[in-house]
């Protein structure tokens, strides 16, 4: 015995396919817009890995660090270098958009420096106060 509930059954398959296609198309358009028309502003700080030398006979460490400005405008930076959490050098620079800065750094070790030595470079964007840091460690030869 078959009872009719009075409601017509409808096939939602074609409607769901259309809704999915519309949603995917909208997502692709939004993602494309974000990718093409928005450029993230940032600064990059790095140490060139091959540049640092362990302790030399005269108790000196050499390394090269760099900064890349992608801030869309000229930006002021403060650079601080720490040796085992002790501030040993500071620098102020101004870079234009897409400008790159590299500096060969030379640090002299004092007798009271313990091993391993951690060298840390901090970059502060003076416009928005964002801070980046990079570091490396070396063992001192005795």
Edge-to-edge strand ranges of the sheet holding 42-47? 42-47, 60-70, 100-108
Q: pLDDT at position 37, please?
A: 60
C-alpha distances (whole Å) from 112 to each of 12, 72, 117, 119 are 77, 44, 11, 15
What CATH number was assigned to the domain covering residues 42-138?
2.60.40.10
Q: Identify the DSSP state of 49.
A: G
Q: pLDDT at position 77, please?
A: 96
Q: pLDDT at position 54, please?
A: 62
**Spans in the chain with pLDDT lower than 50:** none
Q: pLDDT at position 134, please?
A: 93
Question: What's the pTM value of the predicted model, to 2 decimals?
Answer: 0.68
Q: Token pair for residue 78?
A: 């403060």
């Amino acid at each position: 015995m078959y009872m009719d509930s009075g409601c017509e059954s409808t096939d939602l398959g074609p409607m769901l396919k259309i809704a999915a296609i519309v949603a995917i198309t909208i997502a692709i358009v939004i993602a494309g817009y974000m990718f093409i028309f928005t450029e993230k502003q940032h600064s990059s700080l790095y140490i060139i890995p091959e540049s640092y030398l362990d302790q030399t006979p005269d108790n000196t460490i050499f390394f090269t660090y760099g900064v890349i400005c992608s801030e869309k405008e000229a930006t002021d930076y403060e650079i601080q270098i720490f040796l085992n959490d002790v501030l040993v050098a500071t620098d102020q620079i101004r870079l234009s958009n897409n400008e790159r800065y590299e500096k060969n750094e030379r640090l002299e070790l004092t007798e009271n420096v313990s091993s391993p030595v951690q060298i840390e470079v901090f970059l502060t964007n003076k416009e928005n106060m964002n801070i980046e840091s990079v570091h490396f460690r070396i063992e001192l030869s005795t």
